[in-house]
Structure 1
């Protein structure tokens, strides 16, 4: 009994506090206890506690278990100390991250509130009076657009495409197209060339263009420039994005010179649509005429005649949605393999397979816009007169 009790005490003192071990230890040594034990006698030296006995193999097993337990307990203690040492740092980092996120969200909220005020101010006092009093606006199939603005399911991207006739196409056309009052969070995202975007400096760009959901674009750079990726990301998340796929102003006199009804489209529109993979996008075309008389461009030059002219009729024809999902689905596997082979990690970085899809989508958009333009050129050529 003295050896049994001493072994139990030593095991507990050495940190082997597993109940499972104590139960196993007791059951294996129970036969060594006499019916009337006289109490423990601590007379044997410590090193003899684990000496082998010819009649028992339990001692060796106990020794191995205690050795493993001591090693395990030491490792756990080291890990606990490491966690304790790193805990304050991780807590501070978490607090800083949360605080930064809250500040960022609050600033975005303020920008949206300011943007709402700016849009209502500009739309109510400037854009709408200019369009509806000093000029006239006629919209064909207006409901086809407003239903998609307000009633499309959450998360479904809306991408509108149109011809580009003047520097005032944006925002004047959208003051006419979007039902009043305009809600800032329902506004479209649009692109603005960097020369105009930053013409009055960074502060003005933030207060005016960014607040009204404008995004700068550098025409000399590729489709992989960060701001165009940002634009594509807005659409992919279910936002409304408008793009002028011609990429520059094409007034009727210029189109006549080149025997066209629409300027050549750039593949950026294909990229914008192709990366709406989470939900099939609604791609809605419209064609407008009359803005070339509001802000005419000098023949042979890109300069436009200021101030804007009055007494004109602006006509907007909204078409039917362009079906592109079949192209996206057909190219999905090839795009996935191309990305894997290239080791691409940025989902908005273009591969050759992506560029092939962009080209196919761009051709389909061009066909839809050309059909709308031909209706005007054939049925209402007077709308295109200078």
Structure 2
């Protein structure tokens, strides 16, 4: 049995009952950790709610955030007023295959829970990136952690992986890109709590702060031309990427994905700095 279990991710699987059950159970867990065991405040929540609930039909949404713990998703969606129990509105999320898809049981639960397996280090053209692209082309919501791994240090946003940028470029309709930065979940699920390991259960009496930004505007035609010009004057090692549907070769893609990723990283870093000053006030 394949650990990727694409059939379990389909909305029609067993009439959608397993998906609704898993989303409800995960939602209850997230609400408990976020709103009952801990205190969560959200700045600019209305923007996130509007993008999730009432963006234009067929327009996809990509939310991007920093990654402070293994519980970021789903706990960051457990704040009051968020529709976390709605299986139709629930996000798709890129999830590390080596953690979430270890065996058949894990694979089934995460698949039903709208998770897409990603092999870290597998590149932007690995098999399930196409699945993520299909979700976007259906106008759905995808969440990504573009830093690529958990970072519990209070440090600037690191250089982003290019997977999210590649999805933005390749999507048939340019997605809404919404940056989010959170702080405090590293104390709910610290990586090194006891004997250098995570706690068995989420910790409590912590403050979680979520800063939602405004959608990032991309002038993709101009950015494409800039990438093409830049790629002609720079040398990149190539590994055989296919050209995009609009004819960008690998060198141009690398330039474009770098430009887009830096714009997203800068937006996230501004939110991080705003959050630090917001918390001090």
Please report the TM-score for the alignment, with normalisation by the length of structure 1: 0.61
Alignment match, 1:365: 264
Matched, 1:315 2:212: no
- Aligned ranges 1:163-182 → 2 under 5 Å: 163-176=66-79, 179-180=82-83, 182=85
CA distance in 1, matches of 2:92, 2:122: 20
> Is the partner of 1:216 in helix, strand or coil?
strand
Q: Which has the larger radius of gyration?
A: 1
Give distance in 1, aligned partners of 2:99 and 2:8: 27
Is residue 267 from structure 1 mapped to residue 169 from structure 2 by the alignment? no
1-side partners of 2:191 and 2:9: how far apart?
42
1:162-311 aligned at under 5 Å gives the runs 162-176=65-79, 179-180=82-83, 182-199=85-102, 201-206=103-108, 208-252=109-153, 255=154, 260-276=155-171, 278-298=172-192, 303-311=197-205
After TM superposition, list the pairs within 5 Å mapping 1:4-83 onto structure 2.
none
The residue correspondences of 1:33-182 to structure 2 (distance < 5 A) are 108-110=12-14, 112-124=16-28, 126-176=29-79, 179-180=82-83, 182=85
Structure 2: gaps (5+ residues): 1-6, 232-239
Cα distance between partner residues in 2 of 1:333 and 1:263: 24
Three-state SS of the structure 2 residue aligned to 1:316 is strand
Q: 1:111 to 1:290 in 2, by over 3 A?
A: farther
CA contact (8 A) 1:137 1:314 kept: yes
Displacement of 1:379 in angstroms is: 4.2
What displacement does 1:270 show?
1.0
1:29-81 deviations in Å (ceiling 9; x for gaps): xxxxxxxxxxxxxxxxxxxxxxxxxxxxxxxxxxxxxxxxxxxxxxxxxxxxx
Q: In the alignment, does 2:278 pair up with 1:376?
A: no
Q: Secondary structure at the match of 1:311?
A: coil
Return the offset for 1:167: 0.1
Q: For 2:241 and 2:147, locate their aligned partners in 1 and report how far apart those are by CA, in whole Å.
A: 32
Q: CA deviation at 1:261?
A: 2.0
Unpaired stretches in structure 1, ≥5 consecutive residues: 1-102
Superposed displacement of residue 369, structure 1: 0.2
Q: Residues 373 and 345 of structure 1: is their aligned pair in 2 closer, same or farther, counting only changes over 3 Å?
A: closer
Alpha-carbon offset, residue 233 of structure 1: 2.5
Q: 2:70 and 2:110 mapped to 1: Cα distance?
A: 14
Aligned CA-pair RMSD:
3.2
Deviations 1:295-314 (A, max 9, x none): 11229x98433332100111
Deviates more, 1:365-374 or 1:109-118: 109-118
Q: Kindly state the Cα deviation for residue 245 of structure 1 after the two structures are TM-superposed.
A: 0.8
Partners of 1:236 and 1:275 within 8 A in 2? no
The Cα shift of 1:182 comes to: 2.5
Contact 2:42 2:209 (C-alpha < 8 Å) held by counterparts: yes
Q: Which whole-Å CA distance do the structure 2 matches of 1:177 and 1:353 have between them?
A: 43
Residue 322 of structure 1 and its aligned partner are, at CA, apart by 0.5
Aligned residues: 263
